[in-house]
């Protein structure tokens, strides 16, 4: 049984989540809000029940990944909007995996959204809101000491393996995993998958209808925000 911890002071606030210290110095509480933002914070709003949905989705996926042998920061889900996580030092590099052409890749390559890719594309972005999270490569990461070569080797290998699992998982739900971001952190255990995996950070398209089942509905003013997040939660929790 997971130990009982109490929530302490706030240690970090992001666009959609808040981190709190706990009575255990090795654990944090990651609180999911209903806040929504896009275009590096230029567009802001709220989506009803988003925090609870994202927490349920992320907790479930992390728990399943743990069963598959992947190491994550997930410990428990003590409440609808809180995730108990291991304390990690987040590596300031976002890992983006692309299985189908969409978003910025569509603009950069001059291709229509939905165009197939013969192999998964892996990209790195420097986590810095003030700079707009610019794209970088392994040479940048090494030159500016953002992460060690050894840890980046682990991250790259893990990212591709996680992608294989997630693509298969969402396929069972009738969903195409178009693209998404992953974050990793360093702990005494080594490199751990951290942050969240939810419709906030994934592009998810219904295989039958093509409907967007993710935060693009907020970015593009497509409506049905709360309904889509709730539907994705229910679909994902149906697989154990």
Reduce the DSSP state of residue 102 to 3 states and report it.
coil
Q: Are residues 95 and 174 in the same domain?
A: yes
Does 82 reside within a domain? yes
- When divided into structural domains, the chain yields a total of 2
Containing structural domain, residue 153: 90-224
CB-CB neighbours of 184 under 10 Å: 25
Distance CA 109, CA 121 (A): 12
CB 201 within 8 A of CB 178: no
CA nearest 183: which of 20, 42, 19? Answer: 19
Tell me: do 161 and 58 sit in the same domain.
no
Note whether residue 71 is domain-resident: yes
Mean pLDDT of 202-230: 96
pLDDT value of residue 4: 82
Of 204, 217, 191, 157, the residue nearest 61 (C-alpha): 204
Q: Measured between alpha carbons, how far is 21 from 87 in angstroms, rounded to an integer? A: 9
As a whole number of Å, the CA-based R_g of the chain is 17
Does 40 have pLDDT greater than 80?
Answer: no
Q: Are residues 134 and 101 in the same domain?
A: yes
- Give the percent of the chain with pLDDT over 90: 94
Average pLDDT for residues 178-188, to the nearest whole number?
A: 98
Strand partners, 96: 123, 181
Q: Are residues 69 and 147 in the same domain?
A: no
Task: Indicate if 49 and 101 belong to the same structural domain.
Answer: no
**Whole-Å CA distances, 99 to 11, 20, 123, 127, 236:** 35, 34, 12, 22, 20
pLDDT at residue number 39? 84
Instruction: Name the domain boundary from 39, 70, 88.
Output: 88
State the pLDDT at residue 2.
Answer: 62
Q: What is the pLDDT of residue 182?
A: 98
The CA distance from 120 to 145, in Å, is 26
- For the residues 59-87, what does the mean pLDDT come to? 98
Question: Does 191 lie in the same domain as 98?
Answer: yes
- Structural contact between residues 6 and 16, judged by C-beta atoms closer than 8 angstroms: no
Same domain, 133 and 213: yes
Please check whether residues 150 and 39 belong to one and the same domain.
no
Q: Residue 45: helix, strand or coil by DSSP?
A: strand
Residues 59 and 97 in one domain: no
Domain assignment present for 127: yes
| Segment 1-27, tens digit of pLDDT | 466 899 999 999 999 999 999 999 999
Q: Do 151 and 210 reside in the same domain of the chain?
A: yes
- Give the mean pLDDT of 174-181: 98
Across the chain, mean pLDDT equals 96
Q: Is residue 62 domain-shared with residue 130, that is, in the same domain?
A: no
Residue 115 lies in a domain: yes
CATH number at residue 136: 3.30.470.20
CB 204 within 8 A of CB 213: yes
Alpha helices (runs of H) in the chain, residue ranges in sequence order: 50-67, 103-109, 138-143, 149-172, 216-219, 225-237
Q: Which of 45, 67, 88 is the last residue of a domain?
A: 88
Q: Is residue 99 part of a domain?
A: yes
Considering only residues 129 and 20, tell me which one the structure prediction assigns the higher pLDDT: 20
pLDDT, residue 3, reads 67
Q: What are the pLDDT digits (tens) for 187-210? A: 999 999 999 999 999 999 999 999
């Amino acid at each position: 049984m997971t130990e009982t911890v109490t929530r302490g002071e706030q240690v970090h606030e992001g666009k959609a989540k808040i981190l709190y210290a706990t009575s255990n110095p090795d654990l944090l509480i990651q609180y999911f809000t209903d806040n929504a933002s896009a275009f590096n914070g230029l567009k802001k709003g709220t989506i009803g029940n988003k925090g609870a949905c994202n927490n349920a989705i992320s907790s479930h996926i992390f728990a399943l990944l743990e069963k598959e042998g992947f190491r994550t920061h997930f410990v428990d889900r003590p409440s609808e909007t809180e995730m108990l996580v291991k304390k990690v030092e987040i590596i300031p590099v976002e890992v983006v995996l692309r299985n189908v052409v969409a978003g910025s890749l569509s603009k950069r390559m001059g291709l229509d959204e939905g165009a197939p890719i013969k192999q998964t594309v892996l990209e790195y972005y420097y986590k810095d809101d003030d700079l707009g999270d610019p794209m970088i490569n392994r040479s940048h990461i090494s030159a500016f000491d953002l992460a060690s070569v050894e840890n980046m080797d682990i991250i790259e290998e893990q990212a591709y393996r996680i992608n294989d699992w997630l693509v298969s998982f969402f396929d069972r739900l009738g969903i195409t995993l178009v693209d998404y971001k992953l974050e990793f952190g360093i702990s005494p255990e080594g490199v751990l998958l951290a942050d969240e995996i939810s419709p906030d950070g994934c592009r998810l398209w219904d295989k039958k209808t093509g409907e967007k089942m993710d935060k693009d509905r907020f970015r593009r003013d497509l409506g049905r925000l709360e309904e889509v997040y709730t539907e994705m939660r229910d679909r994902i929790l149906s697989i154990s």
